[in-house]
A = this chain, B = another copy of it.
Amino acid sequence: MPVKTYRDALNETLHAEMERDAKIIILGEDVAGGAGGTGVEEAAGGIFGVTTGLYKKFGKDRVIDTPISESAIIGAAAGAALAGYRPVAELMFADFIGVSMDQLYNQIAKFRYMFGGKTKTPVVVRMPTGAGMNMGAQHSQTIYPIVTSVPGLKVVIPSNAADAKGLLTTAIRDDDPVVFFEHKALYPRKAEVPDGDYAIPFGEAALVREGEDVTVVALARMVVFAEKAIDKLAEEGITCDLIDPRTTSPLDLDTILESLESTGRLVLVDESTPRCSVASDIAGMVASEGFELLKAPIKMVTAPHAPVPFARGLERAYVPSPAGIEAAIREVMAS
């Protein structure tokens, strides 16, 4: 299989889906490279390059640069979906849900229910997320717990290039609204990506590592860190199941419970802050639906209850680390 970056996998998926379905449109800030400049056309494909080449291929009617008006961007996606299109909107950073939240959680998420099932809302909102680049408190957040809490939204958080392609394909073809998180630190990471049409169903976790002793659940960049910790412990004969839920809504709880049947020990790794997080969400469900399977306290490895700091050392300490995950696994083994 060809090896590609997470960024390229997303980009080729957008190209392929837009080829396939003329109803798909893209909108966001600088997604067409920045309209109205004095330089070359399509100077860039969004600031992370994910929409590169779309404007040249599909033109300005389908690849729409917008003003800095996030409520209008998400609202326009909502309206275009009600009117029969399949918009893929980009928030330049996930942190900007703050200035567009109403359209996401009061409008898009609720249309189908409020209107008695009489419409579908095939909107995808893509948003780069996560810390690791010293972008500071307002450009580094992992706010997927907030979105996961909203009924009506589906939430996707791919951890590698292949899943990025497979899940974005599914997201675009899904008739429900999907919030699609892309971890900034993963954009340059490479992996083997299946060619051709490749769609991964939502609500099916990936079993990234198989083991006996502990069940580790991690999302996005934390999967990479968990792999490091787990592979290191494997040398000592401590083996873990590593489960990447891939979508937090719907969430594949069954795969986690199945794994717990053999391990009985659970470590949850979540880059987001601890309160009302996906980590505590899964922990809560397990404590209620998988209680008998547990041999030891559930261990959660998350960021602290604090904004994301700027300084390099502080940010490094803020984000859960392979070492922290390793320690957590040892701890649940010991208890």
Residues of A within 8 A of B (CB): 71, 95-99, 101-106, 109-110, 113-114, 136-138, 145-146, 148-152, 248-249, 251, 272-273, 275-289, 291-292, 294, 296-300, 304-307, 309
Contacts and interface: CB of A to CB of B under 8 A. Distances in A.
B306 A296 contact: no
Contact of A284 (B110, B291, B292, B300): B300
A317 to B, nearest CB: 14
Contacts of A137: 106, 110, 113-114
Contact of A297 (B103, B114, B288): B288
Most chain B beta carbons < 10 A, residue from A105, A275, A285, A307: A275
A148 B110 contact: no
B307 A299 contact: no
Q: How many copies does the complex hold?
A: 2
A167 B213 CA distance: 46
Nearest to A292: B297
A249 B276 CA distance: 11
A108 to B, nearest CB: 11
A146 to B, nearest CB: 5
Given A284-B280, A296-B291, A307-B113, A149 B151 contact: no
Nearest to A309: B113
A273 B102 contact: no
